[in-house]
Structure 1
């Protein structure tokens, strides 16, 4: 069984460490300036540690943890977390992955569960190679070699579903428009829908379809991903994307708002059984 206190992804390790530094500092009644004085550095350095912009080093940890009043027997866990946090994931520095998207991939790789609402496309993790290539080909500035690299990176994300320890589970709600819009050609769409049907039988994946008959709903404001993690008191992350890039939202109020929206979408979408039937109907239409 996966140790709930050990992150799978270096990105998640950095996130947890940043959260812990802030939590411990506030619990000790200290300001960022107090910690900066203890480390003999600028306050900005502490702010960057707590925002994940910069990682905290092992030597700095060994200074601040006693300053925060952390028991000696707990120090090793933080040092191990720092070791995990400084590792590199396969996505770090990968030229096929935009820098703004690298943070999301690292979080996705270490998440325990993802709830995803998609208006425009089939979720990336569930895409076939041909569908992914057709989606990516919309970027007319990318070379054929780069498009192939990007497709490979997208397919590799699916490996999170096959982790030996604590595989990722996914609940995807897909708008009917994303399933009817032809990406590539009819054969590409047929193969993609057939793959979704196969995922319906996968215990790690839940697929629901939001049909046009579902009427208006708050999901019409845009797609989003809600990521949860194994660590207690981790409220999760919401990822949203637009034309200029992506953003991760972590404020508890924001995350809970999106969690509520997803629950509403779950109720408005077709049931799991009816969603599979709908997908099988699309397969028949495309043949």
Structure 2
């Protein structure tokens, strides 16, 4: 992140960036967490929590840490501004209808600059119509949250989404025929947007790793940020951020994209499927 970069598109992304930046600065200075803890007069566990986002960074701690980590005096106010923005509340923070484990994902998604997703079961949440989301979730609050997340697609600097859907998603009936046609037509509309790419993995495609499960890779606007992969199951969600983990999913997504139908052929298949639904 530089002075000319956008500061934060969501407070959650700001908190994540500050945690990463503290670790980066500490390692660049050749310091251990215990060294920073002595400067702050705290337990080293606190530094571990700051660098892992378990504890949000506050301004007073930053004012002590940054000079110790080698940040020039004229740069400190900028970091403090990022800190202030990161401590604001997003619409998802404190919403009791959003599980705590999912609130982190919603906050990161809201500030992502790009999302690559593979969906083997259902239409990706950012692409769902109101009726589809309500029928699938059977919960008006959960459906409303899912729809509010879609604001990221239409903001002034919209998130870029590259979604690959298994063809089974187009055939799996959610609700009645009218609902499904509406959803498929909506996919066609989205596919025409400049910030959205949709591909379909046809039934004829074989020997790919998509059977291992759906996943999302989120990229962020901050320079040098490698992004994060999000996975979810019945017990909750978790993030992968190690370089070797990101490399596996990056390679898998590239392979899925190479095997899936081209965007224009995918749009044609979606349109044909919409006409077939009865």
Compute the TM-score of the two structures, normalised by the length of structure 1: 0.94
1:11 aligns with 2:12: yes
CA distance in 2, matches of 1:148, 1:44: 41
Deviation per CA, 1:196-226: give whole Å up to 9, x if none.
0111111111111001101120111000001
Q: Identify the residue that residue 150 of structure 2 maps to in structure 1.
A: 158
CA, structure 1 residues 126+82, in 2 after alignment: closer, same or farther (shift >3 Å)?
Answer: same
CA distance in 2, matches of 1:96, 1:150: 7
Deviation per CA, 1:67-93: give whole Å up to 9, x if none.
111111111121011111111100111
Following superposition, which runs of at least 4 residues in structure 1 exceed 4 angstroms of deviation? Answer: none
Gaps of 5+ in 1: 138-146
Q: Identify the residue that residue 23 of structure 1 maps to in structure 2.
A: 24
Deviation per CA, 1:85-131: give whole Å up to 9, x if none.
11110011112211111100000000000001000010001000111
Quote how far apart the aligned CAs of 1:149 are: 1.4
Give secondary structure in 1 for the equivalent of 2:183. Answer: helix
Q: Identify the residue that residue 118 of structure 1 maps to in structure 2.
A: 119
1:98 aligns with 2:99: yes
Quote how far apart the aligned CAs of 1:186 are: 1.6
CA distance in 2, matches of 1:274, 1:20: 43
Gaps of 5+ in 2: none
Quote how far apart the aligned CAs of 1:5 are: 4.7
1:184 aligns with 2:175: yes
Compute the TM-score of the two structures, normalised by the length of structure 2: 0.97
